[in-house]
Structure 1
Amino acid sequence: MSTSTSYGVPYKPKTPIVTTFDDLLLQLDDIRYIRVQWADPANIVRYKVLSRSYFVKLLHSSRPSITMASPAWFSAGLAFVPDPDLMFNEWLYVFDPSSFRKCTYAPGHATIMGFLEHKTPSPSGGVTLDVCPRTMLKRIVDDAQTLAGVSFLAGFESEFMLLSATSPEPVFVNTAEWCYSRKIPAHSAEAAALEEIADKIVESGIELQMFHGEAGRGQYEIVTGPMSPLEAADALVYTRELTYSVAKKHGLHATFAPRVSAHDLCNGAHLNLSVHTTKPDEARAADAACAPTLTPTERSFLQALLTHLPAICALIMPVSASYERTREHMVAGGPYACWGTNSREAAVRLCGAPGDHRFEVRHPDAAANPYLVLAGVLGAGLQGVKQGALLTFADIQKPLAQMTEEEKNSRGIAVPTTIVDARKRFQEDSCVKEMFGDHFVNKYVAVNEILAQYVSAETEEASLARLAGVY
């Protein structure tokens, strides 16, 4: 019997491969159409389809991009944030060649993401737009490396439900429970769809780790491998689009919505991340007892993340249905910003062997823009790393149901229980304002309020059905 404490596959950050527009020209042989794609702050994924010939012409231009009507960026449905500065403005969406990926689920198609920029330099001299989620995430990742010598790996667990019908009420393809063999019976529509989804993810170059049946009716989970943060967010958008498309091919409807029915479990999008430093960590005894297997850098990151987690809930849980997952006993993040070794009730679960730990942030769901999720989580944690914050939150060590109120309060901070409260905390937190700026904070809150109206209906079930149609 082995006495080693190591287990699992170790992952380390890799030097990124620089992709140029010239490189893209070599990948277009079997491509007829390019989907220029983006996820707006409400996490509604949209794209425009360009012909190959026009895309090639754009690649040879001085700034390969398409124009973007600024009102559409802060909208849900046909409702827009009422801002004169947005209504009569237009931006550029400049292609990011590193995001190019062939659509294995749509032969002849490829997808590319981009960065929002001003058409002409602003008075301050720059073209960068402070409302672009991909730009924000890239800035925070670059700052972490430059200012603190820290890099990250990130990956997502995607929970979703497969439905055979959506109205007048959802009809789930399967009622078997967590990992039951009957959850994915051979020769069934769900098995065929799941296997094709898995095959297409692998063909795309994204690492598929596993898929399995989850506990809810018709609920499944896909786990993909760790990547750099920007790549991970791009891969998550791609994986969801792939899942929708393949499910449709098999006569099914896939939804990643936080909640589909008032009588069923919720869907999450757990974020797994690891913190890596290029500089040797100096021993720090002051807080070592709180988490003896974590490095000082990891402890500082965790302290700041938990401190500011209530403020970034508006980013990672952006709709009312999201807050059903914060109740006790839901095993989905819980009502406190706390951490625990292998605890699925904690907001942050510590996973992995000593020396190869990762944090699983359990509150995010698929209504949240993944670039903003990562920007919020990494940006909050980075504040602690830069400040050398000492970890004061202790491992919860036991189920919340067995803890007194005093124990709960000593090990964590209560998170918002409604999206209204979450918006308020988002606007008030000084760390959030430093990360995102007042301009974006105010715009995000405005579009989040519009989103709330867009997914609401006369009854709870009607609202959840609308949510399932959006996400």
Structure 2
Amino acid sequence: MTKQEILDYVKQHPSGKVKVAISDIDGVLRGKYIASEKFLGLVSGTMGFCDVVFGWDMNDVAYDNATYTGWHTGYPDADVQLDINTFRRVPWENEVPFFLGEFADGKGESSPVCPRQLLRKVLRDAEGAGFKPSFSQEFEWFNFQETPDSLHEKKFNNLTALSPGMFGYSILRTTLKNDFFSDLFDLLKRFDVPLEGLHTETGPGVYEAAIAHTDILTAADRAVLFKTAVKEIAYRHGIIATFMAKWNEALPGCGGHVHQSLWDEQQQENLFYDYDDPLHMSGLMKQYVAGQLFCLPHILPMYAPTVNSYKRLVEGAWAPTTLTWGRDNRTVALRVLSGSKKSARLETRVPGADTNPYLVMAACLASGLYGIRHGLSLDQPAVIGNGYRDFSHGTLPRNLDEATRHMKHSPVAEELLGAEFVAHFTATREWEWRQYAKAVTDWELKRYFEII
């Protein structure tokens, strides 16, 4: 649709309102409804939006260690620019018009803490080097026959899975709740979040979806909208969907793998493919992979942002633990898929479903570009067999505290993402670790209460 057609749609929609949202640092969409008249008046300008969304955590508790905003600033409104190119109609809300936005700094410059702006910054670096990045993200998530009320009544224990048993790639289980399964595929397509595939994964009530690949900014928009849309569609079926990285120690975790490739400026040639190379990997792709391997320990909180993320990154649970790469190998951190010129790509398997898509895609691209910019060589051999047992090039940091300390003091992280972003983001991860460290868990009560 043209800009004028979009504006006409907003004017004519019978609801008289528009839904808008921005992503906070955790990838949670924060938004509101505004009157159509107000939207039409600000479409070429900015709207005010309380900057507290970058001053509190995912549970709306204010940070005490952040400088971007806080009690010291009075939590003023910040300027938000709505991106008319993100226009969608929400099919489960009477086709109400919807737009994504991003924060500016009040002077027409990009905000150093806004995730979508960070991705734009990295994208500019890529395009300046003559590359067009093509990305997509895939997600695994668990579904439960619960409601928000029942979750809290049960204190998040003894939840009823959407279906019992371990039914990965099951044709049988997709018929059990087919109305929900079909709604996901059909409504997401109408919401302009098209899926390449949707299937059950191993575990009770687990689904996996691969979102169609496209340019990196649109891919990140689709991914962040996918997570919220799935939850909203699930609500309509009396279902709760969770994208926690690991909700149960006895079950597999939930991945949020990122697929990526670089193309020429005309988007005609996949620059990752080389027919004459034994692995069909171009020299550019090898530098890109080398960059990600080198940068991974410096920016791991971008891929594993919560305390829970590290419960997924354990040996033998379909998530990587070592700094490894391999060709079509699901036990390594970086899985190279180079079978054809059209589909040659890198799958970064470290990210979980709990990631912020803007941040994880920015991290992937920035670290790959680092390898190209610095001419890094992929001297590390591809893993053949079990990557979990290859410790020759190191392992990933073991928890959020260790990973955040590494990132906070890393000049590599600053080069990739900018000092202001690194300072703010690592402060939020330090806060997240502190909230966990002071909590008394069920595990502690069961282990120590009576016997110690």
Please tell me the TM-score bracket, short chain as reference.
0.7 to 0.9
Q: Distance in 2 between the 1:442 and 1:224 partners?
A: 32
User: What does 1:173-322 align with in structure 2 at a 5 Å threshold?
Assistant: 173-176=162-165, 177-185=167-175, 188=176, 190-278=177-265, 292-322=279-309
2:35 paired with 1:55: no
Shift of 1:454: 5.5
- Inter-CA distance 460–426: structure 2 relative to 1 (3 Å threshold): farther
Q: Which residue of 1 aligns with 2:317?
A: 330
Q: How far off its partner does 1:328 sit?
A: 1.5
Counterpart-to-counterpart distance in 1, 2:436 and 2:135: 29
Aligned 8 A contact 1:67 1:93 in 2: yes
Asked if 1:429 is matched to 2:407, the reply is no
- CA drift of 1:317 comes to 0.6
* Correspondence for 1:349: 335
Pairwise CA distance, 1:352: 4.3
Distance 2:14 2:353 in 1: 29
Distance 2:328 2:213 in 1: 19
Contact 2:224-2:356 at 8 Å conserved across structures: no
The one of 13, 17, 20 aligned to 1:36: 20
Contact 2:262 2:271 in 1 (8 A): no
Give me the whole-angstrom Cα distance separating, in 2, the residues matched to 1:102 and 1:67. Answer: 23
Show structure 1 runs of 5+ residues with no match: 1-16, 463-471
Give the 3 Å change call, closer, same or farther, for CA 184–399 of structure 1 in structure 2.
Answer: same
Supply the RMSD in Å over aligned alpha carbons: 2.7
Contact 1:300-1:388 within 8 A present in 2 as well: yes
Task: Please list every run of at least 4 consecutive aligned residues from structure 1 whose deviation after the TM superposition is greater than 6 angstroms.
Answer: 279-283
CA contact (8 A) 2:134 2:216 kept: yes
Can you list the C-alpha shifts for 1:237-293, whole angstroms capped at 9, x where unaligned? 22122211111111111111112223322111111111223499999x9xx98x641
What CA deviation, in whole Å up to 9, does each residue of 1:340-399 have, x standing for no partner?
111111111112414331111111123221111011110011011122221112110111
Give, in angstroms, the shift of residue 73 of structure 1. Answer: 1.1
- 2:362 is matched by which residue type in structure 1? A
| Alpha-carbon distance between aligned partners in 2 of 1:97 and 1:51, rounded to the nearest angstrom | 16
Mapped contact 2:299–2:363 kept (Cα < 8 A)? yes
Aligned positions, number: 422
TM-score of the pair, normalised by structure 2: 0.86
Q: Percent identity?
A: 21
The 3 A distance-change label for structure 1 pair 85 and 220 is closer
Higher relative contact order (CA 8 A, sep 6+): 1
How far does residue 205 in structure 1 lie from its aligned partner after superposition? Answer: 3.0
Letter in structure 2 aligned against 1:86: T
Give the TM-score of the pair, scaled to structure 1: 0.83
Once residues 257 and 281 of structure 1 are traced to their aligned partners in structure 2, the CA distance between those partners, rounded to angstroms, is 34
Q: What residue ranges of structure 2 are gaps of 5+ in the alignment?
A: 445-452
